[in-house]
Amino acid sequence: MKNYIYKLLFFFCVWSYAQQDSQYTQYMYNTINVNPAYAGTRETFNAFVLHRNQWVGLDGAPVTNTASVNTNLGDSKFGLGVSFVNDNIGPTQENAISADISYIIPLNGEYKLAFGIKGTANFYSLDVNKLTIFQQGDPEFQNLNGKISPNFGTGVYYYSDKFYVGASVPNFNRTKYYDANEVSINSKEVHYYLISGYVFDLSPSIKFKPSFITKFSEGSPFQADINANFMFNEKFVVGASYRLESAVSALVGFQFSNSWFLGYGYDLETTKLSNYNSGSHEIFLRYEIFKNTRISTPRFF
C-alpha cells in the first residue's frame, strides 16, 4: 500500500512540477487566458477555439481544449470576455470557466493602457477507475467529482498596433485539489506572467514579430518561450519558438479572410521525455466581426 501511495505521489508531483496552468505554444493568439486586460483590445468581436494534444504517445499526457469570446463595449472604454478551458491529465480533469472585464485608457499617440480583472470557477475531478488500485475500497482513493474552487486574477496590458507588453496573475488563490491525510497531493500554485512582442516592417510585404512569454510560480522552474514569426502579404505566417530547456516549435498560420484565421503549432521535446512521445500538436481557429468598415493595420497577436 505504501509503495502505491509513493507512486501516486510521484505521478502527481511530476505533472504539477512540469505544468500547472494550461500551456500554449501559440499564446500570442490566446492572450486572454493569461491576461484579463486583453479583453476588447482588438476592438472586434473575437471568438477563439484551440485544441492541444501534448506529448502524443505518452499515456495520460495532457489534452487541452479552450474556447473564448471577447469584445469591446461599443464606444465605451470597457472590454468583456468569457473563456472555457478543459484540461485532461491522466486520471484527472479540470474545467475552468472565467469572466474578464477590462478598462482601456487611450494615451498620447497610438498607445493604450488596459487594466483587467478575472473571476474563475474551477471544477476538478479525479477518476480512480483509471488507476490500478491493489486494495479496492481504500478510502484514500475515492472518486472526486466536480470539486469547485473559485479564484480571481488581474492584469495590465500596454499596447499599440505594433507593440505590446503585459503582466498578469490569472489566479491569486493557491488551490488544493486533492488531499490525503491532510497532505496536499495535487495543488495549483500562483503563476506570474510577463508577455511582450513587436512587429517590424521588413518590406511592404513582409513583417517580422518577435515575442516572448515568461511564467514563474513558487516551487516550479522558471519558464520562458521565445518566438519569431514572419507574416507574408498579411496572409501567411510562419515561425519558430524555443521553450527554455523544454522544447522547440514550428508555427504556421493563414488569414484566409478578414474574419478567419487558422493556426497550427508542433512542439518537439528537447528533454529525455522525447524518448517517450512523438511531440505535441496545437491547432486553433479565430473568428472576428469588425464593428466598422475600416480595418486598421493588421495585428497578428
Q: What is the pTM of this model?
A: 0.85
Is 137 inside a domain boundary? no
Residue numbers of the domain that contains 231: 21-131+143-289
Q: Which residue has the cell 484566409?
A: 256
Is 35 inside a domain boundary? yes
212 vs 126: CA distance, rounded Å: 34
Grid cell locating 173: 488563490
Q: Are 62 and 55 in contact (CB under 8 A)?
A: yes
245 vs 217: CA distance, rounded Å: 16
Is 296 inside a domain boundary? no
Grid cell locating 111: 498607445
What is the residue-level pLDDT of the chain in tens, covering all 301 positions? 444 433 443 444 444 444 467 889 999 998 999 999 999 999 899 999 999 999 999 888 999 999 999 999 988 899 999 999 999 988 888 999 999 999 999 998 889 999 999 999 998 887 777 666 666 665 555 556 667 889 999 999 999 989 999 999 999 887 665 555 544 455 667 899 999 999 999 999 999 999 999 998 877 778 999 999 999 999 999 999 999 988 999 999 999 998 999 999 999 999 988 889 999 999 999 999 986 644 444 555 6
Q: Are 46 and 39 in contact (CB under 8 A)?
A: no
- Asked whether the CA dihedral 251, 227, 116, 294 is positive or negative, the reply is negative
215 vs 34: CA distance, rounded Å: 10
Is 138 inside a domain boundary? no
Is 200 inside a domain boundary? yes
80 vs 72: CA distance, rounded Å: 6
pLDDT of residue 135: 60
pLDDT of residue 237: 95
CATH of the domain at 152: 2.40.160.40
The number of C-alpha atoms within 13 Å of 174 and in the hemisphere containing its C-beta is: 9
Q: Are 40 and 102 in contact (CB under 8 A)?
A: yes
The one-letter code for the residue type at 228 is A
Query: 3-state class of 123 per DSSP?
Result: strand
pLDDT of residue 182: 46
The residue ranges of DSSP E strands in 16-91, in sequence order, are: 44-53, 63-72, 78-89
Q: Are 223 and 246 in contact (CB under 8 A)?
A: yes
Is 209 inside a domain boundary? yes
Query: 3-state class of 92 per DSSP?
Result: strand
40 vs 103: CA distance, rounded Å: 9
CA nearest neighbour of 225 among 91, 49, 24: 24
Is 7 inside a domain boundary? no
The number of C-alpha atoms within 13 Å of 276 and in the hemisphere containing its C-beta is: 8
Is 41 inside a domain boundary? yes
256 vs 234: CA distance, rounded Å: 10
When divided into structural domains, the chain yields a total of: 1
Q: Are 262 and 285 in contact (CB under 8 A)?
A: yes
